């Protein structure tokens, strides 16, 4: 029996539900999920392995107009993932009011089979679903259009069937026991970042970066040190909170997530550091892995 393997790019606007979809398809907490848009800044690859196939999912950053050097770097990643895809899933929110021409333009250069996934149908009705399906069939003439709810796992099996049907014959690209090509430091930083998004609401998260500065693995305990980088002293004060209370909360929940993920006790220490205007400075972006 021949083996199938290929790269499946999940693209779409920020907050369309890509990460939720990815996590259900991969079956592990791979990608950071938050109620805020635009948090997946890296192309995280989640890998689904069986004896007969290997699906490599690439979760691109939401497609946005580049405002900072940071965004430009994210956009290059989106373009890269469209070019090297064997299969593209365009995830679109059924209630999306924005024009999606930028997404459509990016897709025009691609020869890969395309499926459009109309997500969040649990927040809509049959008539609107029907209109949207027709709209996308006309607009992109994709191989398939699926009406789904990633959150409620509705119609996800159909997507897996579609992927397997269009996956090329190819030996595996990664070792079969590799869940992802991102290392443990990356997951540790994402878990801290997820808590920053959860605990601070609006003003803080977008000027925040998390760097894991030390990761010492032990049989029973991992020791992890991290820096949370912000742009201004006022943000540092908010992050730390009165008597360090806020930072303690972030640390506690991030540590619990890590312990569940690594299946070890975790000792976590976090420091908050101010680097004015880091998002516009190319050398910092490089250091943080965005180049």
Taking only the tens place, the pLDDT of each residue in 23-60 is 788 765 444 444 344 444 445 557 788 889 988 887 66
Q: What is the longest distance spanned by two Cα atoms in the chain? A: 63
Q: Does residue 248 have a known ligand-binding role?
A: no
Q: Does residue 60 have a known ligand-binding role?
A: yes
Q: Does residue 62 have a known ligand-binding role?
A: yes
Other CB atoms within 10 Å distance of the CB of residue 97: 5
- Rg over alpha carbons for the chain, rounded to the nearest Å, is 20
Which H/E stretch holds residue 58? strand 53-59
Q: Does residue 198 have a known ligand-binding role?
A: no
Q: What is the predicted pLDDT for the residue at 42?
A: 43
Class of domain 184-287: alpha beta
Q: Does residue 132 have a known ligand-binding role?
A: no
Write the DSSP assignment of 60-104 as a string of letters: PPPP----SHHHHHHHHHHHHHHHT-SEEEEEEETT--S--HHHH
In the chain, % of residues over pLDDT 90: 29
Q: Do domains 4-166 and 184-287 have the same CATH topology?
A: no
Contact yes or no for 28/179 (Cβ under 8 A): yes
Q: Does residue 61 have a known ligand-binding role?
A: yes
Of 24, 32, 85, which is closest to residue 62 (Cα–Cα)?
32
Q: Does residue 150 have a known ligand-binding role?
A: no
Q: What is the predicted pLDDT for the residue at 168?
A: 93
Domain regions of the chain by residue span: 4-166, 184-287
* Residue 231 reports pLDDT greater than 50: yes
Q: What is the predicted pLDDT for the residue at 36?
A: 41
What burial class does residue 10 get, using C-beta atoms within 10 Å of its C-beta: 0-12 exposed, 13-18 middle, 19+ buried?
A: buried
Burial string for 108-142 (b: 16+ CB within 10 Å, else e) reads eeeebbbbbbbbbbeebeeeeeeebeeebeeebeb
Q: Does residue 16 have a known ligand-binding role?
A: yes
| More confident position, 64 or 169 | 169
Q: Does residue 19 have a known ligand-binding role?
A: yes
Q: Does residue 15 have a known ligand-binding role?
A: yes
User: 139-165, pLDDT tens digit by residue?
Assistant: 888 999 999 998 888 898 999 999 999
Q: Does residue 120 have a known ligand-binding role?
A: yes
Fold that domain 4-166 belongs to in CATH: Rossmann fold (3.40.50)
């Amino acid at each position: 029996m021949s083996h199938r393997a290929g790269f499946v790019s999940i693209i779409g606007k920020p907050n369309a539900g890509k990460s939720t979809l990815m996590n259900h398809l991969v079956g592990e907490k791979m990608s950071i999920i938050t109620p805020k848009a635009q948090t997946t800044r890296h192309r995280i690859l989640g890998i689904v392995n069986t004896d007969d196939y290997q699906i490599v999912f690439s979760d691109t950053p939401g497609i946005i107009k580049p405002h900072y050097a940071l965004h430009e770097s994210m956009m290059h990643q989106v373009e890269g993932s469209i070019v090297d895809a064997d299969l593209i899933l365009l995830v679109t929110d059924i209630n999306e009011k924005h024009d999606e021409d930028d997404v459509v333009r990016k897709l025009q250069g691609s020869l890969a089979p395309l499926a459009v996934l109309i997500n969040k149908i649990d927040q809509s009705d049959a008539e609107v679903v029907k209109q949207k399906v027709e709209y996308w069939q006309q607009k992109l003439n994709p191989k398939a259009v699926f009406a789904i709810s990633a959150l409620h796992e509705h119609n996800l099996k159909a997507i897996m069937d579609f992927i397997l049907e269009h996956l090329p014959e190819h030996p595996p690209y990664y070792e079969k026991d590799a869940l992802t090509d991102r290392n443990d430091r990356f997951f540790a930083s994402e878990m801290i970042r997820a808590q920053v998004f959860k605990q601070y609401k609006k003003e803080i998260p977008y000027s925040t970066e998390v760097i894991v500065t030390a990761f010492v693995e032990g049989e029973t305990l991992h020791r992890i040190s991290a820096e949370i980088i912000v742009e201004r002293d006022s943000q540092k004060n908010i992050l730390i909170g009165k008597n360090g209370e806020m930072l303690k909360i972030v640390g506690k929940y991030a540590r619990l997530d890590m312990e569940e993920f690594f299946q070890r006790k975790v000792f976590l220490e976090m420091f908050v550091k101010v680097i004015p205007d880091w998002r516009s400075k190319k050398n910092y972006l490089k250091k943080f892995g965005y180049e």
